[in-house]
Amino acid sequence: MQRFLSLIAILIAVAPALTPSARADQSGLTWHRWSDALFDRAARENKYILLHMAAVWCHWCHVMERTTYRDPAIQRRLAERFIAVRVDQDSDPELSYRYENWGSPATIMFDKDGNEIFKRRGYISPELFDRLITAVIEDPSALPEQRLGVEVPPSVGGLSAARRAQTETLIDAAHDKINGGFGNVHRFIHGDTVEWALERGRTLARNAEPAPWRAMALRTLSGATRLIDPVWGGIYQYADRPDWSGAHFEKLLNIQRDAIRTYVLAWQIEGDPAHLAAAREVARWLTAFMRDPSGAFYVSQDADASPELPGGKFYALPDAARRAGPQPPIDRSLYARETGWAAASLAALYDVTGDAALLDAARAAVAWALAHRRAPGGGMGHAQPTDADTHLGDTLAIAEAALALHRSTAERRYLSIAGELAAVILRDHTDPAGGFMVRVPTQGARGALARPVRQIDENMASVRLLNLLHRYTGRTEFRAGAEHGMRYLISLAEDDLIVPGALLADRELSREPTHVTIVGAKDDPAARRLYEAARRYPTRYLRIEWWDRREGPLALSDVEYPELEEAAAFACANGLCSIPVTEPTEVHRIVSRVDDR
């Protein structure tokens, strides 16, 4: 179980690694800008490079900057033998993902050739930091290289039955059957794990088998409601006690995304109003506090309003008292990735609520990203629309958001956008060694930094996106790309790293998606009601289409639909097609009849 529990710990670190661009540093130290040229300077000056990776919401980053990096003796020693660099993690996804396992703050020291000679996660006191500097100077030998995954033959296309069973066993063993959540301490919503539990529980329920997975998901989602801010909405990063108390009050965009879409799916499957209410509460903070007037979304909100008003005190205040004084800073950087995360989750909530304001916000977010972050090469820039700033996560997030909007609206342009961005992922981010890399290393990169970074969650999401786009369009390159990415996930499993999201990707590659088509004019109210019912079907793995003959053939015309006098819904999958139905209340019934989950 160790490697699954270590992954849970990594995922806690990933949330930090997925969000910042910080407030002013409190150390008074002169920090240099990160670039490949630093290593040439280090060679000329016979110095090492110190990388301090921080986050705007990270309490211990601020403490380390106020104490360790402000200490005069530490500043003197760093000036003598180091070039000190501070990076706000969200501003550089490649560097952030490379060291995501090292949390926030992360401290990495390099030699002039880019070799890592020291890595440490978390706060380091001045006394310990001084000893570490001495140790590095006395023995600057490089750390051994660490790689994940093993070789997988090209003929292997899915997880073995033994690996699937092993993964499920370890997830179950890591589950806290009293409080919900996973592992021994930290509690948070990991979207892929809870989504698998929801889907698996539904499958077992349909087969009249015991359903521990359902209880696992519901127990976790119930506990996680303790992390939802009852005053402003939004969900805190995680709790540091098994009973979901001891909240860490940072609010990060990836945490909001996972919460919204997981609570939406739970409501679709279970019908519990509490799940829909939780999703609405999280979205309330997103739209009220984190939306830029341009339509983009901000990155995060800090836990602490000030050193004198930490999160535990601030978030206990009522609304008026919160607004009367200092508030936790919001990182107002505008990145394509976070904007895409927000858009996709709001579109999912719109699908089940019909709240037009949510759809408008999702549309505006994607429109902003395409207008202000689309690089000349077609990918999505992170902080600027240049090919030099494109990363897998940004392109992936906007592709996912576009596909979500296609589900919400049936507008073909969104499917086209998703396809264009998926093609960029294949062109620019395919790693010949397996999977998808955050980006191609820069030409001047050296040492450890010359090796491509493959972020696990992004690889899982890429596999799922490419496979579903293949199902929509029939484009074989998307299927080949999904299989390429899946082999990387298999290699992790064969190396005994248990990645719950790989179960979802593996399952989807092995079967057709749930497929429902509405046949009728898009200005026909009856057809619209059918489509509204169809988009609420409880699965993310859904191929949903609206065929208005006036728009011409669908992207993949693999089913022939008859001419009818009134709008109708058809469900087709697994070699079966339903009879047409004309009543919205019948849509889920015919889809479930051909759905083999």
pLDDT for the residue 392: 97
Q: Where in the chain is the domain with CATH 3.40.30.10?
A: 2-138
Residues 6+ apart with CB under 8 A from 44: none
pLDDT for the residue 594: 83
The rounded distance, in Å, linking the Cα atoms of 387 and 374 is 9
pLDDT for the residue 143: 65
Q: What are phi and psi of 367, to 5 degrees?
A: -60, -40
pLDDT for the residue 207: 59
Of 534, 408, 424, 407, the C-alpha closest to 468 is 407
pLDDT for the residue 71: 92
Alpha-carbon dihedral of residues 35, 40, 43, 49, nearest 10 degrees? Answer: 0
What confidence tens digit (pLDDT) does each residue in 269-301 have? 999 999 999 999 999 999 999 999 999 999 999
* pLDDT confidence tier of residue 506, bands split at 50, 70 and 90: very high
What confidence tens digit (pLDDT) does each residue in 55-114 have? 877 778 888 998 999 999 999 999 999 999 999 888 888 888 888 877 778 899 999 999
Confirm if 382 and 391 have CB atoms less than 8 A apart.
Answer: yes
Whole-structure pTM value: 0.88
User: What does pLDDT average to over the chain?
Assistant: 90
- Residues of the chain with pLDDT > 70: what percent? 92
Q: Please, where are the H alpha helices in 235-272? A: 253-270
Q: Where in the chain is the domain with CATH 1.50.10.20?
A: 156-290+299-332
pLDDT for the residue 439: 94
* pLDDT confidence tier of residue 146, bands split at 50, 70 and 90: low
325: how many CB neighbours lie within 10 A of its CB?
A: 11
Residue range 434-456: average pLDDT? 89
Confirm if 568 and 547 have CB atoms less than 8 A apart.
Answer: no
Q: Rounded to whole angstroms, what are the CA distances from 314 to 147, 308, 332, 513?
A: 42, 10, 20, 46
Any idea how long the chain is? 597
- Say which CATH architecture domain 2-138 belongs to: 3-Layer(aba) Sandwich (3.40)
pLDDT for the residue 154: 82
Residue 382 DSSP SS3:
coil
* pLDDT confidence tier of residue 155, bands split at 50, 70 and 90: confident
Q: Give me the CATH code for the 156-290+299-332 domain, please.
A: 1.50.10.20
Q: Quickly tell me which residue has 């001084």 as its tokens.
A: 130
pLDDT for the residue 57: 76
Lowest-pLDDT range of 201-205, 508-512, 533-537: 201-205
pLDDT for the residue 81: 93
pLDDT for the residue 4: 44
pLDDT of 208 over the 70 cut = no
What confidence tens digit (pLDDT) does each residue in 3-19 have? 443 344 334 333 333 33
Residue range 193-221: average pLDDT? 83
Q: What angle do CA 290, 291, 296 make, to 5 degrees?
A: 120
The rounded distance, in Å, linking the Cα atoms of 60 and 66 is 10
- Buried b / exposed e along 145-174 (16+ C-beta atoms within 10 A): eeeebeebeeeeebbeeebbebbbebbeeb
Residues 6+ apart with CB under 8 A from 165: none
pLDDT of 152 over the 90 cut = no
What confidence tens digit (pLDDT) does each residue in 318-330 have? 999 999 999 999 9
Alpha-carbon dihedral of residues 268, 274, 275, 277, nearest 10 degrees? Answer: 110
pLDDT of 539 over the 80 cut = yes
Confirm if 575 and 590 have CB atoms less than 8 A apart.
Answer: no
What confidence tens digit (pLDDT) does each residue in 558-582 have? 888 888 889 999 998 877 889 999 9
pLDDT for the residue 576: 80
Residues 6+ apart with CB under 8 A from 278: 221, 224, 225, 228, 259, 263
pLDDT of 148 over the 90 cut = no
Q: Quickly tell me which residue has 């179950």 as its tokens.
A: 172
Residue range 193-222: average pLDDT? 84
Q: Rounded to whole angstroms, what are the CA distances from 201 to 165, 194, 515, 541?
A: 15, 10, 21, 16
pLDDT of 22 over the 70 cut = no
Q: What angle do CA 186, 187, 192 make, to 5 degrees?
A: 115
Single-letter code of the amino acid located at 464 = R
